[in-house]
Amino acid sequence: MYIPPGPSLINLPKIPDDRGNLSFLENKSHIPFDIKRVYWIYDVPGGEAWGGHAYHHSCEIIIALAGSFDIVVHSGKRSQLFSLNRSYFALLVPPLHWKTMQNFSTNSLALVVSDSHYDPNQYIRDWAQFKELTNV
Ligand code: TYD
């Protein structure tokens, strides 16, 4: 599967059931990479923000499993805001995109699926360096 050059929303399967709904994702059929790591962000106080960095090479998929939050994704040239509040939408954030998660609702749960193992050297934390890397 092709990794788009910019952020994109993926519509995941949603199986309605009398007991509720079920959604899922599988390597390569719903997301364009093999999963190497999954982490989740929770207990974020309402209204709080998280993040503010980019990765050199890692690609991530973010899902609001519960509650809602906004994600601002900056390519270095333009900024896009995505409001996630349904667990069947997944936001794909490609490498070299600055991601800030904000406006968390109380008791929200953010699931992040990554194509890489955790590596602090993947992080770009300096905005000036990010602008330099993306303004090529
Ligand atoms: P993160 O939110 O990715 O970055 P920041 O350092 O900008 O807050 O990570 C928060 C902390 O969690 C940081 O100390 C690194 C650690 N961490 C891991 O150990 N493994 C992981 O997979 C992730 C995402 C973070």
* Ligand 1 atom 22 nearest Cα: 118
Cα 25 to middle of ligand 1, angstroms: 23
Give the pLDDT confidence score for residue 2 in this predicted structure. 77
Would you name the residues annotated as active-site residues?
53
Evaluated on CA atoms 110, 84, 60, 74, the torsion sign reads negative
CA dihedral 65, 49, 131, 58 (to 10 degrees): -30
3-state SS, residue 59: coil
pLDDT in tens, 29-49: 999 999 999 999 999 999 999
* Ligand 1 atom 5 nearest Cα: 51
d(CA 122, CA 104): 25
Residue with tokens 């050297």: 121
Q: Which of 37, 39, 125 to mutate to test the pocket of ligand 1 (most atoms within 8 A of CB)?
A: 39
Using 50 as the pLDDT threshold, list the residues of the chain that sit under it: none
